[in-house]
Structure 1
Amino acid sequence: MRETKALTSRQREVFEFILKWMRETRLPPTLSEVAQFLGVPYPKSAATHLDALEKKGFIQRSPGKARGILLTPLGESYQMDRLVENIVEIPIVGRIRAGRLTGSEIVPDGTLAVPLSLFSEKPDFVLQIRGDSMNGAGILDGDMAFIRKTREARNGDLIVAHIQGEMTLKQLIVEKRQIILRAANPLYADIRVSPDDEGALVQGKMIGLFRDQRTNGGRNWS
């Protein structure tokens, strides 16, 4: 890409940190947060890199604002180029209940092209959510959940669980010697599972979510 030649490797690291931060939080980082990323004790050290990015036309800054970093058209172009470079096809392996354990099914259903840079780790497959039990966690009917295959999960993770011959997406809660699959909707009761079944229970962990909001004028990643 033509634009990257204008940046030193360190400036590129800082700029890509800014882009990642903005994707994940929907806000620009503060000077202190940039300094923390760089591992330097003083924000003034980070300001040098921001000065360079501004001088080279990648960002603008609003004086007096803690989160005053704005992307310029050049910065937006760089971001789009980076996203396109990292496009991968993730298989959509089916639809999964986020509701009562009835009628869940896993059926092959094509692929979804996504920028790999949106994820901290590569997802293995996509499941389309059916039901309303995870509404309280911001996971709605029709959403696409990106799943990394794993048999291990930590307390609080959102997991794909296999139980009673069905697949479901729930939050994993570990309390003493009990495993609980918890919905994010008070209409749904906890599902309690023996700790001995945890290995067979966990099929994967949710690492990202995509919602098609074209009817509302856009698409949303989280």
Structure 2
Amino acid sequence: MPPRLTALRLQLLRTLARLTREGGHPPSAEDLARASGLSAATISFHLRALRELGYVTKQGRFGGLQLSEKAQLAVGAGIPIYGQIAAGPPILADQSPDHVTPSLDALLGVREGDFLLEVRGDSMTGIGVMPGDYVVVRPAAEVLDGEVAVVLIPGEGTATLKRLYRFGDEIVLMSENSDHPRMTFPADQVVVQGRMIARLGVAVPRVSKGRS
């Protein structure tokens, strides 16, 4: 008889999802056995069935257990991705998910050491960074010209999010809002703390300029 997704195996998938979320990496079969209170032999038997069913794969040199997209849909892990949405000519919105992302960390490409900052002010609205949004920052002492950086303002002890350019011995910080003037400082007084790699638009809905 071919293997099937029993209630116990579904619970094992949920446990795997939880261990992955809490540990930040795919757990081992031993981790799953400890968390489930089952013997190594029992876990091995059910993992073999789950692999045959396409719910579990092994990842990395240490054989961490990773849920497939099929498994993530089964246990409700991750965020469903419902096809595409048009920003130009309209397209039909699908009603069933194509696949899921394992986590927001995976979707945004977050690495160990990255952190979030809540945005205050409207100086970067031109690139869609609104007050109340969060930006994902990757620590860095230097950024490329034109990248959006977290920078300590000389003499103020405060940080700002701006697009950074170097001109000789000067650093120019540019806003993405014409209401905010550029700022220029001696390069040796500017401390870069990181660069923006992603944005989470969690602020309340806004109305575009020019609309009532």
TM-score by length of 2: 0.49
Q: Which has the higher helix share?
A: 1
Q: Which has the larger radius of gyration?
A: 2
Q: Which has the higher strand share?
A: 1
